[in-house]
Amino acid sequence: MAAAALPNWVMVDRFVYRRDDDKSFREDKRTSATSTTSTGAPFRVSFILAEPPTPSRLYVWWPEGPKRRLVCHLVAAHRDLVLLRLDSIALESTEEHPEPFQVMILHDYFVYIPDAPPSQPKLKRLPACTEEDSLFMGKPDLRPFEPHSVGLLRRGEEEFAVAYLTVSRSKRSVQAQLWVLRSSVSTRPSSSDDDVGDKWEIKRLPIQHLPDEYNDLYYWLSHEVVPFKDSLCWINYYRGILFCDGVFGDSPKVSYSRLPLDSFPRHPSRHTRKELYRGLCVTEDGHRLQFVDVARDDGAGIGPMAPSSTGFTITSWNARRLGNGATCWSTDATVKALELWDQNTPASLPRQVMMLPLLTMDKPDVAHLILYEWQDVVDKASLVTIDLTAKRVVGKVVPYINGEEDLSTDDADMVNLKPKNFAPFLPTEFSKFLNPGRLYNKAHSTVLRKGGSHG
């Protein structure tokens, strides 16, 4: 394993494999890093990386951490950095009441910083974000963030920013509230309390939008955050994208662009689940923004395809941002299920619903998708790769969840949770910065092979 080169990019499973004993904790020394939470509890993380479409995994060893589910989160990634969150439980007390009387949930954010051998990856814990002018028992009240609405943006040699965005509403206007932390990859503590880069800032910003787009924003909900060039994109898969430009500056700008959709429902049904069939992807080394939609012919959101259904249609679009903040969409490719089924037998390509489309980071016309099969007890899932331009399957279907038989394996916790909490994979290229014999040009975020040729 140590001799094998790591992939240039990976798609990491959002499910975090919490394993607190040495027997079940899988570790790759090249990807491992250690740190402590704000409560002083030590922990260790390790990524088990695989060539797409096989999902990569994040393993966490945290014996002193809470035993509840969903206390470890894979939040975001950009270029060489990955953002993680661990949720700890703390018991509060005061001088007047020395006995613990209040349980607090602490959200610790860590930036994972890779490094090629012989060095080791590092984890940088970020300062907590507190509510403005809000105190609880004489202490600043912590601001909770929804993990799917937190973004990470890398810039230059040392800088990164972590940001969280919400939309506030009134009868006449909408505006964005943006929490931003600007910092560096240095894991050394700041030498000055005046270091702006280690403090959270809150900004209230107007949102540029067209008059008929007001209702899109009034009922806003972010499904995920995608970094694109020097911007962060908060996306709602029923409506559009909030582009936040200038995150590192003092005056960021937020503008709204609709997705290339036929309709924009005011109150989407919880049974529609369009977020399972759509993806906003960044390809071509971060220079191309694309949107992919899988439209089921039966119009259903959940469950197997109707017996009379002819399948689905996969469509990809390319986004071009204009100088006024608007976005122009052009169709790249359209593929129908029947075109794929005519070329492949049911054994080589099961006639199942395709979900969670993800374009490869280096090829804008190649997509990885989940083939999902609903079962009575435990659902099954596998991954397939489609060349959207050539309209053909690439390689073999890769098993992912084998149904009820997986309940007897170490992955039983993932298998039980997935149908209720299916999330898109996180694409990231941090893996290539772990390969020995490579030099990382941080200024341009490229990998150079020895001798100066491009990797």
All structural domains of the chain with their residue ranges = 1-131+425-455
193 has a pLDDT exceeding 50: no
Q: Which residue has the higher pLDDT, 438 or 248?
A: 248
Question: How high is the mean pLDDT of the chain?
Answer: 87
pTM assigned to the model: 0.90
In 219-287, the DSSP E strands lie at: 224-228, 231-235, 240-245, 253-258, 278-283
Q: How far apart are CA 284 and CA 321, in angstroms?
A: 16
133 has a pLDDT exceeding 90: no
pLDDT at 194: 41
442 has a pLDDT exceeding 60: no
List, for residues 230-244, the tens digit of each pLDDT value: 999 999 999 999 999
Q: Is 274 left (phi over 0), alpha (psi -120 to 50) or beta?
A: alpha
Mean pLDDT of 132-160: 79
Residue with tokens 């089921």: 296
pLDDT-derived band at 454, boundaries 50, 70, 90: very low
In whole angstroms, what separates CA 252 from the centre of its chain? Answer: 22
* Beta strand 224-228 pairing with 231-235: antiparallel
List, for residues 9-36, the tens digit of each pLDDT value: 999 999 999 999 989 999 999 999 999 9
pLDDT-derived band at 205, boundaries 50, 70, 90: very high
Q: Which residue has the higher pLDDT, 52 or 270?
A: 52
Q: What is the CA radius of gyration of the chain?
A: 22
Torsion of CA 204, 210, 215, 216, to 10 degrees: -80
List, for residues 54-88, the tens digit of each pLDDT value: 999 999 999 999 988 889 999 999 999 999 999 99
Ranking 174-178, 266-270, 409-413 by mean pLDDT, the lowest is: 266-270
pLDDT at 444: 40
Structure tokens given for 10: 């990976």
pLDDT at 96: 56
